[in-house]
Structure 1
Amino acid sequence: MTSLDEYRLLGRSGLRVSPLSLGAMTFGDAWGWGADKDTAREIFESYLDAGGNMVDTANIYTDGQSEQFLGEFLGARRESMVIATKYSGTRNPTDPNAGGTNRKSLVASVEASLRNLRTDYIDLLYVHAWDGLTSGEEIIAALGDLVRTGKVLYLGISDAPAWQVARMQTIAEFRGWAPLVALQVEYSLIERTTERDLIPMAAELGLGVVPWAPLGGGVLTGKYSAADLDAPDADRPGGSRRDHALVNRTLTERGLSIADVVVGVAQELGVRPSHVALAWTLQNPAVVSPLVGARTPEQLHEDLAALDLELGPEHVERLDAVSAIDLGFPHEFLTRPMVRGVVHGQTITRPRPVVRW
């Protein structure tokens, strides 16, 4: 399909990013399952050697180790890298303003990230998760202020309702503020509900989609079975990757059924299941750069090989069928023959072509 150094534009911005981004949530072992510093450095170097240029982290990943390691690894290569980080995760569980999406949390978090990353600017800053308390006006205004200072270059948002994102984007457009250029959401063969509103919204409003967990928390690699369906002890940052897959509801009977089809397609094509899962995600024209996380350099190289795979129509059809979701109202309603007849009569109109920004 492509290689890591055949770059894509991120949303309507002019920022060029690789077709697979390196997720650095595995950098650090504070949560009990990540890579130690030496291994993380090797993963980072391998990604750069393959032509990759975008690395994604967050202020809270592995209790700050992820940003700290990344800052140490960058060195003189800082200018050639696109570094994405996030705010809203709390830095102090006893301080009500140490987390959330408010302006105070934002400013303090960015300053801490700049220190951790050993840099004076962040290429791409995401709102990590919607807190349900801060108004969209406050968030987009505060983010725009940081862009004007030069401490942040581009803005993104993750894990938020589509209508809130659309409202913030509209406010930014009409007031001449820096727009959102990236949307990070969970998207895989197991989690396709983002196709209802979030991904179409992103395509319409000029946000490049950066999927997280494109391998369904590892379920789509085929490494889990029905014996792994026992409930985890707790919903917490620590614990095993299996626990995370259970808590995030990718490791379910449905998830395993989808993984079975992925494994079958992979066997037919003579590739690994992870290649099939990633290639399926990349065939969505709204998707710019899925995140791939690895705990070893070998896992990273395995994921990067997905760029060489192009799925045929018959394989896409099988994968789509086993993972299909109910789009809900009004989407399902508007596709009914009776409704379409009422709206269009007997006429047929060719839709606009899908445009990738």
Structure 2
Amino acid sequence: MMGWSCLVTGAGGFLGQRIICLLVEETELKEIRALDKAFRPRLREEFSKLQNKTKLTVLEGDILDEPFLKRACQDVLVVIHTSCIIDVFGVPHRESIMNVNVNGTQLLLEACVQDSVPVFIYPSALEVAGPNSYKEIIENAHERDCLENTWSAPYPHSKKLAEKAVLAANGRTLKNGDTFYTCALRPMYIYGEGSPFLTANINEALNNNGILSSVGKFSAVNPVYIGNMAWAHILALKALRDPKKALSVPGQFYYISDDTSHQRYDNLNYILSKEFSLRLDSRWNQGTGLVSLKLSNSVFTFSYKKAQRDLAYEPLYSWEEAKQKTVEWVGSLVDRHKETLKSKTQ
């Protein structure tokens, strides 16, 4: 694995950042290219601190810019494509979601073929599988169950189309004559330090007398910790580079969960914040948007046995470890809120 380069798109995002941290720690790389539309100054500083033996190059540009993508992919061995617009509330315009999530993915795949990048890993979404009805109970489902959403809502539809494009590209002949290998990872609801959804829920509660929105009263899900989801990408990378797994992994998708307890969405928020005196609202908030409504009120859980078998995936962090790390981070949000209130009263 010495002397090779990896491109991570969406590198400024929740998942992209953690993948880069693991790439630096777990693999011997010549260069990591971190691509996003824009990077906050603080994140640039954090990335600069990660550089040790591995060069970390920050690339700012648009995922829809073909010449930019072609330059970014030159002399790269692996692309991990996390860049997308994540939306379950129906806020961004449909055209924007479809352009970034579908067209951007297709342009990047073509850039990989033209620049002879042999490995492409795509973090897909649970919404690709559904649920199609909150009345339908899906427990410990497997990839062989062939679940597929029937929604026309832009986010799940775009992720389904993008995943299909990624898996269909597997086996293509690259410009240098080599073979293109791809796979997709479907995460459960991802939580952990830096989670945008958890941040929003906690901040909303802090501004509402410590009351957490009660969303998902009728749900049962198995969330996955961000550190374990990022780790699955490292293992997928190694598997796609392993000639012994050339017949089993390429062209496949994998559900990624861990040993986090199966529970309701609002119960997870409560467990991660109760020591700071946050509490659940007794009223039921069904959420906004069709995607949000179905996800937050469905029994929808999945097994990671296929990833365990094919990728040698085992969670890096136990539920207890993940909980402790996330609770500590929630504490920092609470402290920041207190400091803000204090400054306003001075």
Q: Which bracket does the TM-score occupy, shorter chain normalised?
A: 0.3 to 0.5
Structure 1 length normalisation: TM-score?
0.35
Structure 2 length normalisation: TM-score?
0.36
